[in-house]
Amino acid sequence: MPTHRFLGITVLTDFVLNEGVEGILDNIAGRAGACAVACNPTVTAPGDAANGSWQPPADAGASVRLFDRPLWGKRELWVRSGPSFVPNADLYADTPYRPRGANDLTDRDGPVVDWFLEAAHARGLQVYFQVGAVQPPGLRPEDTPRLPDGAIPSNRMADTGSLASEAIRAYNRAYAHDLLARYPEVDGLRVDWPEYPCYTFGELFQDFGKPVETWAEAHGFDFAGIRRDVQALWDYLHGDLTNADLTDLASPDRGKFTLLRDLGRFPGVVGWLRLKAALSRDLLRDWRTALTSAGGTGKQLSANAFMPPYTLFTGMDFQGAAEHCDSISAKLYTMHWALMVRFWGDALMAANPGLDEALLVRALVNLMDLTDGEPAGLTLATYDYPEPDAPHPIPNEPQRRKINQALASVGGATPLYALVHGYGPTDDFRRRLQLAADSPVQGVWINRYGYLSDEKLDVIREVWH
């Protein structure tokens, strides 16, 4: 493939602390041939259950991931953290959210981020910080997305806030200012989840909290009608879903007629999808404003995004996002797609005990567009989280189709990058990277360095260059 296409790799500062600045850059720039790197302004050390987070992430307790590259000698462990710099608390006067406080790790290891930025730029790499789009420290209940009945979805996999929350947006503006004041040399920000994640079935039905109600009514949406019809759809899917419905959805035409018929039964659902798209666009507009007002003229803003058709539910509007973003990275996170079949399927089976499991699997695989022929299996267990040495059960063609759908949605308004996950066996990683390399995308980001063994780093250079 042409060597001028964009190639970026994300790396947690944990690994910089373990392998050293130059060792990491030797691998990312020298061995793999990347031209960009994304890191996080966080420093870490081994922790415990009372003072830390589990790495790799637990993904609502379903993940079986292990790092390819050990941290402090382990492939999974508790990690405690602190910011890499001392935040300017005065910047956060307009938000109830406070920045994470500096701690002993900040004092001891914080400078490593400065060294990493300087050394990466010396090698000609662009350097980005990856940040949560709506993930302030200590997310408040009033800013947590809600179901139509006001409840918080159970077992959320992504601890994100309401896209409409002014308190979170004020925190974002302060944080952007804080980051650029401390690290003016960074090339830009990559914001993750500027949409409503839909990993679990409950997450799919976000968000009906007060911030959204206020925003929707101010922007001309019939919030009451939307909430009424989405609640009716929720009720239908929790007790009235039948095998006859699933037969239509599992049919060769992928249930197109059934889906259109049901949208006619619940017209407020269309308004709900429009509302989520409008919120995502407006959030990214706010991030762009925050970046510019913080003195970030010329700084890059990039958005991470789900792939179609999930974006219909998450609210990610590729063309709308392109108005505010210098690039968009669409996630080829095939291990999550497999898990979502089980998450959604388990919820529907529990709510509708008479459903045929094989029929439900066919319907969900069709709805998510995960195969062209027979599903990988006809039990929900087939679509569990892939073990570290197991190929991801998503064939190539659906991935290519999703890439082309995302490209068509962007319409050339901004570069679209494929975001390939490094987790999984080497041969399967090669397969997934190769199809992205062979596609018309303008570049690729690879997430994350911790899942890239030396063998996979060599694969990246072989495939990409």
The residues that bridge with 436 in the sheet, in sequence order, are none
Structure tokens at 367: 């709805």
Instruction: Convert the pLDDT of each residue in 192-245 to its tens digit.
Output: 999 999 999 999 999 999 999 999 999 999 999 999 999 999 999 999 999 988
The mean pLDDT value for 390-406 works out to 97
User: What local confidence, expressed as pLDDT, does residue 267 receive?
Assistant: 86
User: What local confidence, expressed as pLDDT, does residue 432 receive?
Assistant: 98
Options 2.30.130.10, 3.90.79.10, 3.20.20.80, 3.90.470.20; CATH for 6-464 is: 3.20.20.80
Structure tokens at 439: 């596609």
Q: What is the mean pLDDT of the chain?
A: 95
Cα dihedral 444, 449, 452, 453 sign: positive
Structure tokens at 128: 């980005």
Confidence grade of residue 266 (pLDDT, cut at 50, 70, 90): confident
Domains of the chain, by residue range, sit at 6-464
Confidence grade of residue 459 (pLDDT, cut at 50, 70, 90): very high
With a CB cutoff of 8 Å and minimum separation 6, the contacts of 58 are none
Three state DSSP letters for 110-178? CHHHHHHHHHHHHCCCEEEEEEECCCCCCCCHHHCCCCCCCCCCCCCCCCCCCCCCHHHHHHHHHHHHH
User: What local confidence, expressed as pLDDT, does residue 20 receive?
Assistant: 97
Instruction: Convert the pLDDT of each residue in 114-144 to its tens digit.
Output: 999 999 999 999 999 999 999 999 999 999 9
Instruction: Decide: 119 and 21 in contact? Cβ < 8 Å.
Output: yes
Structure tokens at 333: 């996170």
Confidence grade of residue 430 (pLDDT, cut at 50, 70, 90): very high
The mean pLDDT value for 27-42 works out to 97
- Residue 325 vs residue 254, higher pLDDT: 325
pLDDT at 100 exceeding the cut of 90: yes
Helix-, strand-, coil-residue percentages of the chain, each rounded to 5:
45, 15, 40
Report the DSSP pairing between strands 6-10 and 36-39.
parallel
Structure tokens at 47: 């922790």
E-strand spans in 254-399? 300-305, 327-332
Q: Which helix (H) or strand (E) holds 46?
A: strand 42-46
pLDDT at 254 exceeding the cut of 70: no
- Helix (H) and strand (E) counts in the chain: 18, 11
Report the DSSP pairing between strands 327-332 and 42-46.
unpaired
pLDDT more than 90, % of the chain: 89
Confidence grade of residue 4 (pLDDT, cut at 50, 70, 90): low
Q: What is the DSSP string of 405-459?
A: HHHHHHTTSS-EEEEEE--S-HHHHHHHHHHHHTSS-SEEEEE-GGG--HHHHHH
The mean pLDDT value for 143-168 works out to 96
Cα dihedral 399, 401, 407, 410 sign: negative
pLDDT at 417 exceeding the cut of 60: yes
Single pTM value for the model: 0.95
Structure tokens at 386: 């892939």
Cβ atoms within 10 A of the Cβ of 227, count? 22
Confidence grade of residue 2 (pLDDT, cut at 50, 70, 90): very low
Separation of alpha carbons 40 and 132, rounded Å: 10
